[in-house]
Structure 1
């Protein structure tokens, strides 16, 4: 008989395993401070300086580490997958015969004389369908974390909103081509490579939509 202490210890371990918070899919830094401007030549007293100049007729968009870029999240993904399969096989076998042998006992002669009909049929039908739909819309301001050798910008950022004890957190990371940045310093999330978008809720509402630890523990070990 298993001791009660062993059962409680096992349930406690399952509880700890079930209560581990899921890891965030956004693993890279989500913020960076702008780098110090390094002057390659001394200040000659002119108005125009190479290290700090901002062209009047250039669109002010994110270009350097620490610059801010507005991401318009407009993800709308859907997928449908269906499959049908069927198989049918049937067969029929008939046997018949008669015999009359001299000096043969009647029981054996009756056994050798007769007919048999054998019929077999095998039918299989399978059908499956899955539908998936995901819609995510919003806006988030992110920071240029790094500038790659080819000029692409590595982005990262998060937004937290707390209302009456309920916290909603959005994290975003990815890589963009600066040529895709539109007027107003904005870019669509559909133009972001390696995009990782995460929305997490904390509070009473999120707890109400979370399965209890005991139920999660039994679902993890239930074999059926």
Structure 2
């Protein structure tokens, strides 16, 4: 091959390379939505469909004490009449009234447990909207926990858990049904009596 043929072959090869489609490389760990996860990073919830465990630890204490006191007294006297008013006899009237009341109320509620939820939405600022239900059956009795709330991705731990105290607009609902729960409800006649009186 002479120099002229070599130069022609080199030019043809350059043209072929220039016209070839460009191949783009993608990460093996690319997710839908363009996010990527490192192989060495902890897997934490960040997209719709990811799961996350809520560590419920809620405690509320309410205390109220009230005291009221009221006293009132009065007296009136009337002297005997003279002259044409001699039929009026001497009289006196007095009265008193007192009221005192004391009251106290205290309430303490503690709730603990774990419930795994799903990310149902990602807000424009990156916050995750969480929602999930856990149902436990025991001897034909169902105990259901429903949890809803919003959290920041930064508050999720490396173990993919988050305490319930770090969740905004949190709603925790405990429901139950079955023979045991039915026995713990008031009868219909008792409910009607309590409503009327």
Q: Does 1:213 align with 2:188?
A: yes
Q: Does 1:74 align with 2:54?
A: no
Q: Which has the higher contact order (CA 8 A, sep 6+)?
A: 1
- The 1-side partners of 2:51 and 2:23 are apart by 28
* Alignment of structure 1 residues 139-158 onto 2, 5 Å: 139-158=114-133
How many correspondences in the alignment? 173
Question: Could you tell me the TM-score, scaled by structure 1's length?
Answer: 0.69
Bigger radius of gyration: 2
- The 1-side partners of 2:26 and 2:98 are apart by 90
The residue aligned with 1:53 is 36
The residue aligned with 1:44 is 24
- The 2-side partners of 1:172 and 1:127 are apart by 40
Q: Which runs of 5+ in 2 are unaligned?
A: 1-21
The residue aligned with 2:108 is 133
The residue aligned with 1:85 is 68
Tell me the secondary structure at the aligned position of residue 39 of structure 2: coil
Match of 1:200 among 162, 165, 175: 175
Q: Which runs of 5+ in 1 are unaligned?
A: 1-41
Asked if the contact 1:77/1:134 (under 8 Å) is kept, the reply is yes
Structure with the higher strand share, 1 or 2: 2
- The 1-side partners of 2:191 and 2:63 are apart by 29
Question: Could you tell me the TM-score, scaled by structure 2's length?
Answer: 0.77
Tell me the secondary structure at the aligned position of residue 219 of structure 1: helix
Tell me the secondary structure at the aligned position of residue 139 of structure 1: strand
